[in-house]
Amino acid sequence: MSDAASVRLASNAWVGALSAANEDNWRICVERGLWGSGSHRARQVKVGDEFFVWKSGKGGGWFARCLVTSEAHPPSKTNPAPWKDGRDYKYIFGIRILTESAQPFHPGSTDDIQNITGIYNIMLGQFPLLSGTQAELVRRLIGGVNPPSEPEDEVKEAENDAHEDELRQRPLLGATERKQLILARRGQGVFRSNLVKVEKSCRVTGLRAVEHLRASHIKPWRASDDREKVDGYNGLLLSPHIDHLFDRGWITFLDEGHLKPSPRLDALVLQSWRVEPDRNPPPFKGEQQVYLEYHRELVFKS
């Protein structure tokens, strides 16, 4: 059985924290194929378990995905912990690195809970045992930084690319207008400027720091005419994980402001991301409701 298959069958998934002040420890982990923990929880680690590494400190984030290759055991005089950092290592166990990120990836946090994984940041240094859903979400991040694309994503991107090429070649379209229409595809330029005059925060997470929010079209960019592409009423400011759900039709909004999940969406996704459909946001303006009707009818996975 391959390493990847073994991990898929693993009964448990754990997280160990790599301190930014002790980055040399990782070199030893790689060379010796070992991990050490100061937590008594580590005694529960078994061969075949999945193990993720979180790099703490400035610039921290998800860093590596490993397979546990030996049972956890206390260090001894004949088999001491190889890290000379003064820590009291309670248990050490063997690891095989499956994936190591070139740079740590941090999914961002709201109220000290990671946006994508739903894990409390304070837990990461406590050798936590992850739920199956949390492990799958971290696995997706480690595997490719962003969640894997859905089958229709490639089709949508091809349509967007073709439409952008059409805009670039369209005669009688001024250079400034052409630039703004193309920037709108990426949630930038005039479209974003117009949007922040209408929306001030993410309607689901409540986050008001607009620099961390995505400018998402309600009626998709490729389906909008030139005016609609840059219309601030044709957009929402959304936290990245909410944008992921909205753009793919896994959620939509009713005119009175309430979130409506797709009946085809696994409820565990909303639970793990702390998404509360019962929030009571303000109703949408009439101009926004026109675009939302399009989203509910032609984007939403009903």
Same domain as 106, residue 54 = yes
Same domain as 132, residue 216 = no
Residue 151 within any structural domain of the chain: no
Burial of 114 (0-12, 13-18, 19+ CB in 10 A): buried
Same domain as 160, residue 139 = no
Please say which residue of 144, 169, 201 terminates a domain.
144
Number of domains, the chain: 2
Question: What pTM, to 2 d.p., does this model score?
Answer: 0.56
- For every residue of 39-87, DSSP letters joined together read SGGGGG--TT-EEEEEE-STT-EEEEEEEE-S--B---SSS-----S--
Same domain as 161, residue 91 = no
Same domain as 246, residue 118 = no
Among candidate residues 265, 271, 197, the one with its CA nearest the CA of residue 237: 197
Same domain as 217, residue 189 = yes
Please say which residue of 122, 144, 166 terminates a domain.
144
88's tokens: 């009291």
Structural domain harbouring 282: 156-298
Q: Do the beta carbons of residue 13 and residue 130 sit within 8 Å?
A: yes
Same domain as 117, residue 29 = yes
Same domain as 225, residue 250 = yes
Same domain as 47, residue 81 = yes
Same domain as 74, residue 26 = yes
Same domain as 128, residue 56 = yes
Please say which residue of 144, 178, 209 terminates a domain.
144
- Per-residue pLDDT tens, the chain, 302 aa: give them: 444 444 444 479 999 998 877 878 998 998 899 999 999 999 999 998 999 999 887 777 888 899 999 999 999 999 999 998 888 999 999 999 888 876 777 877 887 888 878 888 888 889 999 998 888 888 877 754 344 456 677 788 889 889 999 999 999 889 999 999 999 999 999 999 999 999 999 999 888 888 889 999 999 999 999 999 999 999 999 988 899 899 999 999 999 999 999 998 877 778 767 787 777 789 999 999 999 999 999 999 99
Q: Please name the helix (run of DSSP H) or strand (run of DSSP E) that holds residue 35, with its range, or none.
A: strand 34-37
Q: How are beta strands 13-18 and 34-37 bridged, if at all?
A: unpaired
Instruction: Enter the DSSP assignment of 151.
Output: H
Residue 150 within any structural domain of the chain: no
